[in-house]
A and B are shown apart, each in its own frame.
Chain A
């Protein structure tokens, strides 16, 4: 295993954050330095992997054991895009966190937990079999719950507990599905399952259990009940990670399953998930409009944006849908992280996040408000953001498959998101007198939020090469079965 071996890159994407987590736990003094080194290293590795998988998928058997008892790592273009998105968001939060942690007096446990979260996330994206996905989902859930509870307020702990219970029930439903799939097909590997899984009753039972479990973890309406509390009471950098990355992980697994073993699922199931997605868009947007607190508004916006992702299922057989959904996951991750980081700055400056009292934020925190606004523009889906191209591809997919109703949903949902974004921006420009100046916001906090929002905004300009990579045939998915010409 040499440094030039792409298999080694996959291993280090998991090992680097794990080693860093242990180091920062033992030597908290140099936590920031280690976390920075790890963030830069994993970003470089993720970019290298994305570049490499454009030529074809990479598979690596850990320790040379191989399936079924060993653990395989597997990367294809979809993995590559997810890894790059995750490492960019983590890079931004790493530089953002020291300023925030110092003023919020949050435990030093932030760093080890966040690094374990990254290790779990990367391992999940790289997992080649459905049982390793279960293990990484659990690791991800446990570290995420720990991070929410760091806020150490009663409400945050209650939200963390609710999140943990929902997540555990969801994992068990998923695991029961794994048991059924393994019993009926004798394999756990995703690629092998895609070949062997046929429309037997056992497969459909597993489909129901696994999809339900992952939909709870992915906070699909009406199973989103745990999300607003957990995402809004958590510390700001944690909220950014949860909304940008952690809810995407179960959706990524759903994507893998539905492009693989469940590709021939009855269309009614896909339609049902699509209808729930529509309900999520409407409910999430309306709730976002009704919120009085900025972070809750952003959290409900996540509920709505997850609804867009679930439009994948009714359109699963359309030509451009995989590209559109992958790009939407990436674009939403970047934009939403920028919005939560900006909200963290506003809370730090004002000491609260009541939307009605956001006076003078535009004047006092121009870059932060710009970050929030640009993030909002991306969420709405205006060009040149990645969301614009992603939503365009969704609409194209809807027209291609002749079900134009879904296209109407995409447009309506975007209009609703415009409503709640402009509501915040309107309040930020009011000119009431502020009795005293707010707390100074550290420069790295302002700039990471702003730069992340710029990356999200300009993503659309780099979308063409990215989409070319995603449209590559992927072994074990529908592409390889000749569905997409």
Chain B
């Protein structure tokens, strides 16, 4: 379905080109949910925007192949890419409060996409919009379609965003921290809805989140990102059960579990690096409790370890664990 090979995205800054995404590769099958996990600024959102080709003006993709069902997205002319957006690839954003246009009714915003991509007339598009609202679990869809975004709660708005995103039955749905702005109970409802959608329609979902536990519950596979690279990738269960990369281990140790009195949260000391150009050694080395000589000089490559699992660490390469 989706194949990404060696995606690199540079942001032009006054200090020179910043490598926001550096050689990200992964693939996603139809109906599969992959979690892209990492802390703020690790390049998760830049990866998503690179796939959509919606990067800000000062950023550009410098080398990669992104194939959606065989089509190289990065080689497409802009008009063809525009035809794909919203139709074959859709995206849900972090803040449902800001992602809906305040001056249009929600029904109108769903119908617009249908008119645009499916060429439906206004009536049919509107009826379809009502059906979609019903589909994402909004009661009294025919009445609510005529409401404006400010008349909805955050969770309802995210449902509307999902209705817009799935209106054309996309092959790939990119959900960029879809529940960060919502409270925990609503978060579970929204993720359950996404789960249901991919089971029904076979849409592949790229779930971007900073919450490793959440990714564990809702994803088939998890890719952990650090400093613009995927440092570890594997099936959700086995990755969470036994993380290979020290960074994944650190993330897991930093997660609150059980009653607070039972254990302490162990933070990862230090801050992620900002990359200007090729890296010297492992990016995580300054914060890594297990670093040894090779970490300082060469960037580690991806090492396969176990079924479907890869990680970027010299510990694995040396078999020193």
Partners in one complex: no
Residues of A within 8 A of B (CB): none
Interface residue ranges, B against A (CB under 8 Å): none
